[in-house]
Chain A
Amino acid sequence: MAIKHILKLLLKHKSISLLITLQIAIAVTIVGNTSFISYRTLQNWLIPSHIAEEQIINVYTRVFDKELDQSALIERDLYNLRALPEVEFASYAANELVLATVNGRNFAHNTLDRDQQGAHLALFSQSQQGVEALGLNITQGRNFYDTEYIFSDGEQERRASVVLISDALAATLFEKQSALGQTIYLHNERLPYQIIGTYTDMMLGESAVYNDSWYHSAVIPEAHYAQNSQVNYILRVQKGSTEQTLERIENLLFNEQGRIVKQVEYAARAKKRLWDGRSTFAFIMMGISGIAILVTGVGIVALVSFSISVRTKEIGVLRALGASQSRVMRSLLVENSLLAFAGIAIGLFAALWLNQYFVTNLRIQGLIVPWLAAIVAIAVWLLSAFAVYIPARKAARIAPAQVTKTN
């Protein structure tokens, strides 16, 4: 049958046509929005971390006994931690832990001009073994000399003078120029540090990630203690370490009185936490989408089966008049596609509207991605075609001899 005839038939069978269109429209609204919302999350999620997530351990402790000498405590802790057989490297971490920013947001500047915003970064303030614990792979320049490490209490203003930065940060700050030997300014006070080396990109900083500065990081050989009650460590352990390692470390650290061990965790856990909220949201949304697709698919099968059952005789006539099985199939698919296109068009508009509502009223991120909308449209069309295929195949098998039956 020609499109013209199909259109006429669709108009005659208003209620069914309307129901199918409506269903597809709602499905597109749901799936379209879900895709928009989930897309960015998943896109970020798939960025590789390049860190040994199962080998790096963050240790968070808090000293509650104000009489305790933090300097001596840290030295004892590091000594004891390094003595554990599975620990390869251990470093005191004054500022950031891996994928867990402890102290505020950090910026790196390539100028002292206060009007310049600077680049977000994860700023690691480490004692000895910090570079090794993080597993940095220095590609240009050199590692710190042992003499460059500064370990002092928070009151003294002793500062390091050198810094290692990631390739991505170097590219942001200095573009095509070589970063080696350049000066960057760190901390609120904008203190100068000379770049002595760069390392391959790793996803290290929590707040840097939240600011889309995935691979921006820097390490300074400068560890201050007793600024507050926090005493944190970054450890690197052997491959294949388990939860028992975490427990052993926790027990070891709890042997000290006047200090509480808040958490001992693999970097993998910290990384999971980065996406907890948004990925959960995305998962639920995809779950709802999945259900919507399933229900819509089943619904189309039911509705098309019904509309075919009403037209058994009509299809028989068409067969007698010379419509082959494939022609019957084809025209049912075309018929449904017309409805699907209408539904998809309505659904896309509804999705845009709903998206607008979510973004303005519910503080949801997830702007429209045109090519994603196109994929959703095609996918829903394919789904509807597949759903129609099942009853259509049955319809095509309607015997042409149907027409000569008198009842």
Chain B
Amino acid sequence: MLKMNNISKIYRTDLVETHALSGVNLTIEEGEFIAVTGPSGSGKTTFLNITGLLETFEEGQYILDGEDVSQLQDKHLSRLRNEKIGFIFQGFNLISDLNLYDNIEVPLIFRGLSKQTRKQRIEESLELVGLGSRAQHYPAQLSGGQQQRVAIARALAGKPRFLLADEPTGNLDTMMARQVMELLQEINRQGTTLIMVTHDNELAQRAHRNIQILDGQLSDIAKSQLTDLAV
């Protein structure tokens, strides 16, 4: 479903070149639950940005759903983000001035779905995350965990090919974090591919497959190794 061949990303400033990613090769199959771990500064965020089509790269090839997205223009990339990827961020990134319904509706409008379809999808996804009764509330009226569930609903409403979660529980307390994680796992069980970037090994353990980034290099590792690496 997703294939990266030899992708490199270099940040240049006047003084230094930083190889954020170098020669990344990765293949992800339909339905997988992958956790990407690594210490800060390892290239995790860059990997996330590139996978999420938020950032371009210099070298290599990225094939998403059989389509080479390496050289696409902004317009095309925006459409792909909208249709194929569901984002879940550490900071939730809900639009605080819009209520839950409107928040979820935004990407659906981008896609050009009919009003009827939008309504149906919004209700379905809110129901799925257990917030069906709170469509008219504003993000500030919810707890952190609830906000993250709204973000998940927003990601799911678009029926994406995969969910891309960036430290989805980083801003939550343990209790809420567990609930959110269980929700994500449940979604994955129902068939949605899930890519999760985290520095939390405990969370990573829940994934089917673990990938580690160190100095811009990717490697598959066994779950047993995770604890050792936790620093």
**Smallest Cβ distance from A339 to chain B, in angstroms?**
16
Check: A109 CB closer than 8 A to any chain B CB. Answer: no
- Judge whether B145 is part of the interface by a CB distance below 8 angstroms: no
* Chain A minimum-CB-distance residue to B52: A320
- State whether A322 touches B111 (Cβ < 8 A): yes
Partner of B54, one of A2, A314, A403, A406: A403
B106 touches A401 (CB 8 A): no
Please tell me if the beta carbons of B109 and A313 are within 8 angstroms of each other in the complex. no
Within 8 A of A (CB), among B86-102: 87, 89-91, 93, 95, 97-98, 102
The 10 closest A-B pairs by CB, nearest first: A322-B82, A324-B78, A12-B97, A401-B54, A321-B107, A400-B54, A322-B81, A401-B49, A324-B75, A317-B93
CB distance from A322 to the nearest CB of B (A): 2
Determine the main DSSP class of B at the interface with A.
Answer: helix
Contact of A321 among B48, B91, B97, B106 (CB under 8 A): B106
Is the beta-carbon distance between B87 and A403 smaller than 8 angstroms? Answer: yes
Rounded to whole angstroms, the CA-CA distance of A403 and B49 in the bound complex is 9
Cα(A178)–Cα(B35), bound, Å: 101
B72 to chain A, nearest CB (A): 11
Give Cα A13 to B97, complex, Å. 9
Q: Is B215 an interface residue when CB atoms closer than 8 A count as contact?
A: no
Most buried by B among A13, A316, A318, A400: A400
Interface residue? B202 (CB, 8 A)? no
Q: How far is the CA of A316 from the CA of B91 in the complex (A)?
A: 13
Residue A224 at the chain B interface, CB threshold 8 Å: no
The answer, yes or no, to whether B83 is at the interface (CB within 8 Å) is: yes
Knowing A321-B106, A322-B83, say if A8 contacts B78 (CB, 8 Å): no
Most chain B CB inside 10 Å of its own CB: which residue of A318, A324, A399: A324
Nearest CB to that of B77 among chain A residues?
A324
Residues 291 to 342 of chain A near chain B (Cβ within 8 Å): 313-314, 316-327
Question: Which residue on chain A has the smallest CB distance to residue B50?
Answer: A401
Q: How far is the CA of A404 from the CA of B83 in the complex (A)?
A: 19
B82–A9 contact, CB under 8 A? Answer: no
Can you list 26 A-B contacts with CB-CB less than 8 angstroms, sorted by A residue number? A1-B106, A2-B105, A5-B102, A5-B105, A8-B98, A9-B98, A13-B97, A318-B106, A320-B52, A321-B81, A321-B87, A321-B106, A321-B107, A321-B154, A322-B110, A323-B78, A324-B79, A399-B54, A400-B54, A403-B91, A403-B93, A404-B52, A404-B89, A404-B166, A405-B45, A406-B91
B41-82 residues at the A interface, CB under 8 angstroms: 45, 48-49, 52-55, 74-75, 77-82
Name the one of A12, A316, A400 contacting B81, with C-beta atoms under 8 angstroms: A400
Q: Say yes or no: A404-B106 contact (C-beta < 8 A), given A320-B87, A399-B55.
A: no
B153 to chain A, nearest CB (A): 13
B contact residues around A400 at 8 Å (CB): 53-55, 78, 81
- Expressed in whole angstroms, the Cα–Cα distance for A127 and B75 within the complex equals 82
- Measured in the bound complex, the distance between the Cα atoms of B52 and A321 in whole Å is 10
How many Å lie between the Cα of A42 and that of B54 in the bound state? 56
Q: A5-B102, A317-B95 are known contacts. Are A322 and B55 too (CB-CB below 8 A)?
A: no
